[in-house]
Each structure stands twice: as structure tokens, then as C-alpha cells.
Amino acid sequence: MRGSKVIVTGGAGYIGAHAAVSLIQNGFSPIIVDNLSRSSNQLLKGIFEITGHRPEFYELDCRDFDRLKSLLNKLREVYAVIHFAAYKSVSESVAAPELYYDNNLNSLLSVLKVMKESDIKYLIFSSSCTVYGEPDRIPVTEDSPFKRAESPYGATKQMSERILEDAVISRSGLKVVSLRYFNPIGAHPSGLIGELPIGVPSNLVPYITQTAAGKRDKLIIFGDDYDTPDGSCLRDFIHVVDLADAHVKALQNISNISPAFLGINVGTGVPVSVLQLVHEFVSVTGVDLPYEIGPRREGDVIKTYADPTRAKQLLHWEAKRSIREALNDAWNWEKRLSHATN
Ligand code: NAD
Ligand code: WQD
């Protein structure tokens, strides 16, 4: 398996770039396919700076079946595909649902068709805890029912999983692991790759780091009157490097996994509240973080965190890095970005 070629769609983005680093460090040869619609070559450079290896890169839209097919014809003997490429903004998906259904679903359909024609058997798919909505029981196991998606983005992840379930039935030999990420945060400890939010961040940690860096006036905490220990929402924040490593483990174990389609939670199993995270950030960095309590944000899940037992049993993976490490790494990345723009 060492040296095996792995197509990484969306590998110029936040999670894909971290996964490319982990793949290289574990002896795989990632080949990145990305149309740079939501990224640039900045993280590609970072991958090289960290690993000393420059992965092959193809600027290509996954929906472009003909170009994807001719790339695969040229490459030959590809072991697996990790499909990160998608749009991921909940609010944008509400404003422009057709954009999300088109990109997220047609990319997946095109990738599946090319995999069939090129006889590639293994696919790791980027799914999300958003498929569960507000769970009835926490921690959330993979058998929890999917609630009606709160957003078109969430719907694309649910529909993608349905497409994949049907694909393994129709194509014998195809195996799919759908990794359901909880809340990825942080950056590579080198400070050379991290998240590059477009516009005003809607996710908590980039908003925190931008506020601490003086780019935003203050953080608004969306509600402190929920039925939780401190009144703010509960999440399972996972260091992006731990998440990246889960993809390596999935590749290493996919041939032994059954059934042919399987959803696997990728989280720490430890609930952390929004207020707790804010206090940890201040404690780790020593930086002042102006914040105030605001109204609840519509559509927010109140409490969710993973039961990561299946990942431990089948992938031999568990999260190793702490919230404090993740926040420290996120802050170092933000300082580097702020320094570069000043
Ligand atoms: P990102 O936006 O940083 O990266 C996505 C990459 O895919 C970008 O580089 C973008 O240019 C590329 N892309 C988008 N559409 C494409 C297309 N049609 N063809 C080729 N490239 C295309 O996002 P991310 O945070 O790295 O997320 C990666 C995956 O993980 C996505 O599928 C996302 O839905 C999923 N996910 C993300 C989170 C999160 O909080 N970041 C949580 C759960 C799941
Ligand atoms: C976390 C908590 C907010 C910003 C989203 C997607 C989900 C997945 C991960 C892709 C919530 C609170 C936030 C702020 C705040 N992505 N918050 N002030 O909503 O758990 O999940 O990203 O699949 O699909 O929905 O993440 O980082 O937006 O919010 O108080 O300025 O932080 O209310 O409780 P979320 P988030």
C-alpha cells in the first residue's frame, strides 16, 4: 500500500490539505484535484513546505467528467479516491440552494462514474455530523436517524450518503467509508497550513481568532439560555490534524471493512461548550477576546457530540490532540495570516 496513488479532490482546501500532509507522511502519493473555486495555491505551497514533497496538482472541476476521466486514464493504478471537494457554507446554501445541489451532488456523481470506468474500488467521502441534525441521544452513534436537514448543505450530505449506499449495491467490489466529521478546528502545528475563511467567518474558531487579531470588533455568542451546563451550545471540536489522520487510517483499513458502505463518526467523544471554548482560548493565548451574549442563531443544533467507538474499532483511530493544542495552533495560523497581510 505504501506509495499507492490516492486522488484527493478538494485537496487545496482546509481539511484536504491537512489530509495530503498526513498521506505523504504515511507513504501515500496524493494527487490533488481542485478547481480552486474556494481556495488558492497557498495551502498547496504549505504542503510542500511541511513535507518537502510537491504533490501532483490538477486544476479541474470534479463535475467535468471528460477531463476527470482522461486524467485517470493517464494516471493508471489509482488505489483510492478521497472526495473532499464540495461547498460547505450553511448560510450560502440557504441563499443559493441550486448552487449546492449542483456542485456537491454532481461532483460526487462524476467521481463515482469515473471510479467505475477506471475500476477504482475504494472511496472515502467527507460527510458531516450535520446529517444527524439535533440528535435524540448523545453521544451520537452512527445508527442515529437522520433528521430532516436544516439546510440545503446538510441535505447534500444526506443525499450523498444515499447515493453512495445505492452505488455499492449496484457495483460489486466498490467500498465506501463515509467519515462524518464533527467540528474540525485548528491548524497544522507548523503554522504553514490552516483555514482560509472566505469573507466573514460563520464558524466559531475563525471568528474567535479574527476577533483576537483585531479584524472583528467582538464575538457574539449565539445564546446562553439553552438547556446545557452553562447555557451555551455543546459541540465536539476535533483538531484538524487528528481528522486528517482518520483518512489515512480509513485508507489503511477500508479493504477489511464491511458492509460495503459504512458511515463512521470522526470526533473526540468529549463535549465542549461554546463558552468553555472561548475561555480556553483566552487561557491558552493570553489574548483579550471581546465577546457578548447575543440571541440564538436559527437552525443551531443545541447539543451534539460523537460516540467514536466505531472509528476506534474499525479504523484503529482515536483523537489524540487536545482542544488547547487546537486553539494554540489556530491562533498561530491566524497570527501568520495577519502578519502576511499587514
Ligand atoms: P474547503 O472549502 O476549505 O475545501 C473544499 C475544496 O474543494 C476547496 O479547495 C474548493 O476549491 C474545492 N472544490 C469545491 N468544489 C469543487 C469542484 N466542483 N471541483 C473541484 N474542487 C472543488 O472546505 P473544507 O473545510 O476543507 O471541507 C472539505 C469537505 O469536508 C467538504 O466536503 C465539507 O463539506 C466537509 N466538511 C467540512 C466541515 C468543516 O467544518 N470544515 C465539517 C464537516 C464536513
Ligand atoms: C459552533 C457553535 C454556534 C459562531 C457547522 C455546520 C456543520 C459543520 C460544522 C460542515 C454553535 C456558536 C458560532 C459565532 C457562536 N460543517 N457560534 N458565535 O454550527 O456546529 O456546524 O460547521 O459540515 O454542518 O453547520 O459550527 O462553528 O458555526 O458553530 O456563538 O460567531 O458556535 O452557535 O453553537 P456548527 P459553528
Q: 155-174 pLDDT, tens per residue?
A: 999 999 999 999 999 999 99
153 is catalytic: yes
- CA dist list (Å): 202 to 62, 205, 206, 324: 26, 9, 8, 21
The confidence band for 179, taking pLDDT boundaries of 50, 70 and 90, is very high
pLDDT of residue 338: 87
**Mean per-residue pLDDT, 48-76:** 97
Percent of the chain topping pLDDT 70: 100
**Ligand 2, from 83, 89, 90, 293: best to mutate by most atoms within 8 Å of Cβ?**
90
pLDDT at 2 over 80: no
CA-closest candidate to residue 128, choices 99, 97, 150: 150
Tens-place pLDDT, residues 190-227: 999 999 999 999 999 999 999 999 999 999 999 999 99
C-alpha cell of residue 307 = 460516540
pLDDT at 180 over 90: yes
For ligand 1, whether the C-beta of 306 sits within 6 Å is no
Helix axes 204-212, 323-341, angle to 10 degrees: 50
Q: Indicate which residue of 79, 87, 132, 153 is catalytic.
A: 153
Question: How many angstroms is it from 202 CA to the middle of ligand 2?
Answer: 7
Pairwise pLDDT comparison (271 vs 76), residue with the higher score: 271
For ligand 1, whether the C-beta of 161 sits within 6 Å is no
Distance CA 48, CA 30 (A): 12
pLDDT of residue 337: 92
Question: How many angstroms is it from 222 CA to the middle of ligand 1?
Answer: 25
pLDDT at 314 over 80: yes
Distance CA 123, CA 114 (A): 12
For ligand 2, whether the C-beta of 180 sits within 6 Å is no
What is the average pLDDT score of the chain? 97
- Ligand 2 atom 30: residue of nearest CA: 221
- Ligand 2 atom 36: residue of nearest CA: 203
pLDDT at 1 over 80: no
**Mean per-residue pLDDT, 130-145:** 97
Backbone angles phi, psi at 235, to 5 degrees: -140, 170
Ligand positioned closest to the Cα atom of 99: 1
pLDDT at 114 over 90: yes
DSSP 107-168: HHHHHHHHHHHTT--EEEEEEEGGGG-S-SSSSBPTTSPPPPPSSHHHHHHHHHHHHHHHHH
pLDDT at 341 over 80: no
- Ligand 2 atom 19: residue of nearest CA: 300
Helix axes 152-170, 106-117, angle to 10 degrees: 20
pLDDT of residue 207: 98
Tens-place pLDDT, residues 256-313: 999 999 999 999 999 999 999 999 999 999 999 999 999 999 999 999 999 999 999 9
- Ligand 2 atom 7: residue of nearest CA: 130
For ligand 2, whether the C-beta of 240 sits within 6 Å is no
